[in-house]
Amino acid sequence: MALGALIIKARLALTEEELVEQIKENPYPQLFIGREGRHSSIRPRLIHR
């Protein structure tokens, strides 16, 4: 999940907060990172350490 999120972040040039919103609202990034449901538990802190 983290690798997929980092790829999306880099390709779309998003901040961590924008990335989280994009994943929460859009089903395509959810499928790309392996999340099937619309309710995502992804948070900015989980992406970048």
- CA–CA separation, 35 vs 13, rounded Å? 21
* Segments making up each domain of the chain, as ranges: 2-47
pLDDT per residue as tens digits for the range 1-49: 899 999 999 999 999 999 999 999 999 999 999 887 555 566 666 565 5
pLDDT in the model for residue 45: 65
- CA–CA separation, 22 vs 16, rounded Å? 10
pLDDT in the model for residue 42: 61
Cβ-proximal residues to 37 (8 Å cutoff; 6+ apart), any chain: 30
Considering the entire predicted model, what is its pTM? 0.67
The identity of residue 35, as a single letter, is: R
